[in-house]
Amino acid sequence: MKRDAPSFAALRIFAVAAQRQSFRDAGLELGLTPSAVSHQVRAVEAWVGAPLFLRQVRQVRLTPLGETLSARLSQAFFDIDTALGQAKRQSVSTGLRIAALPLFTNVWLVPRLARFEALHPDLSLSIDTEARVVDLEKGEADVAIRNVAAVTPGLFGHKLLDLRATPLCTLEMAETVQAPQDLARATLIDLSVGRAGWPEWFAGVGCPGLKPARTLTFDNVPSAIDAAAQGRGVLLGLLPLVLDAPNASQLVAPLKHPPVDAGAYFVVCRKADRASATVQAFMHWLIEEMQADVARLRRLERERLQ
């Protein structure tokens, strides 16, 4: 009759040694001596009743049995870590970390947050507006609002709003922009982060490879809109949300060419966090708010682009 199974610690040590294929490297990672790692591995081997490593001079490698056990333990430890992380996040219901793009946050989310806070007065929000893709799997945020073509594999998401791109500029500058080819003589306002903008638009209107006279690049959309409103260049605006920006009333669409599809806003979270009450509450509220506002946004787009 077999004695009790190896300790959780011994199995962890074996798993790290198997991943590293080295007792020395495993020891460095775990803060143990190579002999301590070897001792714990031998304890697992003794329980299994067969070698898990082939030991050679200054080198070890897994046996076929060791490879099988290593793979299964790696999956088991991943499941355990995921379950523990999910339980911890669900137990802390007083805070929610949101990563949202600057334009979405400034012109749409912030004006509506009071309604969410009224529904959840005990919930503290932390909003990251850096124009970068945070790593949800590493826990950099609980919920993210992204401009993408589709939900990233491995995440759960819901589409909020389809986006379309069209050039925008001041009325004075619009007099010199009658066709897409005219943009080759203009200053194009671009972004240093996010999805490719102008190259996709040029390809969409049948002018692939067209190069502007110069570019003016910003790291966020609100600054780019301000520059366009001051006549600094032509902005590729994402409709319809860009039209809600404070300075957008000073911009017009100089071309009659139909806007080009530019992905959509999605709200996403880790699949494991779908059971979190705070994540569920925010995503449900966000989706309902957007559904209630889509008609107004599309009407605004039609009125401004006539």
Euclidean distance between CA atoms 59 and 17, whole angstroms: 12
Q: Would you place residue 305 in the very low, low, confident or very high pLDDT band (cuts 50, 70, 90)?
A: confident
Going by the DSSP 8-state scheme, the letter that residue 90 receives in this structure is H
CB atoms within 10 A of CB 34: 16
Q: Would you place residue 93 in the very low, low, confident or very high pLDDT band (cuts 50, 70, 90)?
A: low
pLDDT attached to residue 147: 87
pTM (predicted TM-score): 0.66
- Determine which of 13-17, 165-169, 271-275 has the lowest per-residue pLDDT on average: 271-275
Euclidean distance between CA atoms 187 and 201, whole angstroms: 15
pLDDT mean over 113-142: 88
| pLDDT at residue 228 tops 90 | yes
Q: Would you place residue 153 in the very low, low, confident or very high pLDDT band (cuts 50, 70, 90)?
A: confident
Q: Would you place residue 194 in the very low, low, confident or very high pLDDT band (cuts 50, 70, 90)?
A: low
Angle, CA 215 vertex, CA 213 and CA 220 arms, to 5°? 160
Spell out where 46-130 has E strands.
53-56, 59-62, 95-100, 124-128
pLDDT mean over 87-98: 71
Euclidean distance between CA atoms 211 and 167, whole angstroms: 15
Q: Which two tokens stand for residue 225?
A: 């809109």
Backbone angles phi, psi at 43, to 5 degrees: -65, -40
pLDDT attached to residue 109: 96
State the sign of the Cα–Cα–Cα–Cα dihedral 296, 264, 223, 171: negative
| pLDDT at residue 1 tops 60 | no
**Number of separate helices (H) and strands (E) present in the chain:** 10, 10
pLDDT attached to residue 256: 82
Q: Would you place residue 210 in the very low, low, confident or very high pLDDT band (cuts 50, 70, 90)?
A: confident
CB atoms within 10 A of CB 179: 12
